[in-house]
Structure 1
Amino acid sequence: MDRELFPERVVHPRARIVTGRVSRLNPGYAREIKVGQPVLMAVLAAAGVAQMAALLVKSVLQAGTGRAGTRRRWKQLRKGPEFLVTPLRMRDGDGVLHEVEIHGHLPQSALEPADHIQVTVRRQKDGDLPPRVERIVNLTTGQLLTPRIPTVWSHLGPALVLQAILGLMLVGAVAACTLTR
């Protein structure tokens, strides 16, 4: 049969663990993580309090000779990080072709066509998308592969998160001082 005219049917696996052979790794593409506006506003507000306190201390200690650092804008923070999505097709022992998605980066030589693999998958929020791979055990090479994707917290960055924590501590300390009077 002609594969172009009659493509083989691809199914999304229903089981949590699927064992089979790598049929094809499709080219990857970028997908964006959404950042919730309430989370972003809370973090930026708390970080703003700490930044104002730091600017106040800096203006007292210095004559203002230093220049301000560049900060990412609201639009850049709201956009969210992008991560690599690589569709993977694998054929199980019964000859059924399954499609799953690998989110994040893997070493280039981690999976080769015809490798015997066992994948642990999780359904995505959008039911039309193939399940997302949580873990891959390459039974041919003996490798355990765990793709990692960026999170909202890694996107905001440790400096902004730390600044937000300091801002919350400052607001808490001021509130505690005013309540004890």
Structure 2
Amino acid sequence: MGRQTYPEQLSQRAAPVITGHVVRLMEGYSREIKVGQPVLVAVLTAAAVGRLLGALVASVLRFGGSSGGARRKFKELRKGPEFLVTPLRLRIRDNLLCEVEIHGHLPQTALEPHDHVQVTLRRQKDGLAPRVERIVNLTTGQLLTPRTPTLWSHLGPALVLQAMVGLTLIGLLCAWLFTRGG
């Protein structure tokens, strides 16, 4: 009779810092960042006010106004940016197997099987494996910090700047109306 093997049980520990050895980096896949509709509507509204102010200034100064480049559609902005998720299996104390997620890109040679690492983790919602915030590869002495896109990098600096100008204008208008009324 052949030897029967059972899959090893994964530890669900999510201590803030764990130390162990890399067992395996699994195949990566992409995940999308969720963009909240109320936040997006507020940013787009403030940006529209900022664009309106820019168009007004351009017309007063008689600039040949440009459209400012191609604007992305609401549906496109609503669909958040995608980032790489790479599951990482570690062998921690008591010979337990622990799975965590690396969000973002790391150099291919940054982690090798059997490397001794110290990993700083953050819990995730929806019962997902803990997310890696920082990895110290004790074997090579490297400090690795994976980076993922944010809502602000997804919207882009031009739209964020327009929204800040719009919010400033709305704030000034509200302050002016408040002082006139009182």
Task: Mark yes or no: TM-score above 0.5.
Answer: yes
- CA deviations on 1:40-76 (whole Å, 9 max, x unpaired) are 1111111100101212222343475745520111011
Question: Which stretch of structure 1 is more off in the superposition, 24-33 or 61-70?
Answer: 61-70
> 1:37 aligns to what?
37
1:173 maps onto 2:176 in alignment? no
If the length of structure 2 is used for normalisation, what is the TM-score? 0.88
Question: Which stretch of structure 1 is more off in the superposition, 169-178 or 153-162?
Answer: 169-178
- CA deviations on 1:123-154 (whole Å, 9 max, x unpaired) are 11112x11111111101001111111111111
Q: Work out the percentage of aligned pairs sharing the same amino acid.
A: 66
Question: Which stretch of structure 1 is more off in the superposition, 88-97 or 73-82?
Answer: 88-97
> 2:113 aligns to what?
113
- Secondary structure in 2 matching 1:100: strand
Distance 1:18 1:177 in 2: 55
> 1:22 aligns to what?
22
CA displacement at 1:9 relative to structure 2? 2.3
Distance 2:63 2:107 in 1: 50
- Secondary structure in 2 matching 1:112: coil
The correspondence of residues 7-18 of structure 1 with structure 2, limited to 5 A, is 7-18=7-18
Figure out how many residues of one structure are paired with residues of the other and give that number.
178
CA displacement at 1:81 relative to structure 2? 1.1
If the length of structure 1 is used for normalisation, what is the TM-score? 0.89
Distance 2:86 2:68 in 1: 40
Distance 1:179 1:172 in 2: 10
Contact 1:81 1:155 in 2 (8 A): yes
Distance 2:151 2:29 in 1: 19
- Secondary structure in 2 matching 1:90: strand
Contact 2:55 2:65 in 1 (8 A): no
CA displacement at 1:94 relative to structure 2? 2.2
> 2:74 aligns to what?
74
Contact 2:86 2:101 in 1 (8 A): yes
Distance 2:65 2:21 in 1: 63
- CA deviations on 1:57-114 (whole Å, 9 max, x unpaired) are 2234347574552011101111111111000001123221110001111111110111
Contact 2:14 2:121 in 1 (8 A): no
- Secondary structure in 2 matching 1:174: helix
Structure 1 unaligned residues grouped into runs of 5+: none
Letter in 2 for 1:151: T
1:59 maps onto 2:24 in alignment? no
Distance 1:63 1:143 in 2: 52
1:152 maps onto 2:151 in alignment? yes
CA RMSD of aligned residues (A): 1.9
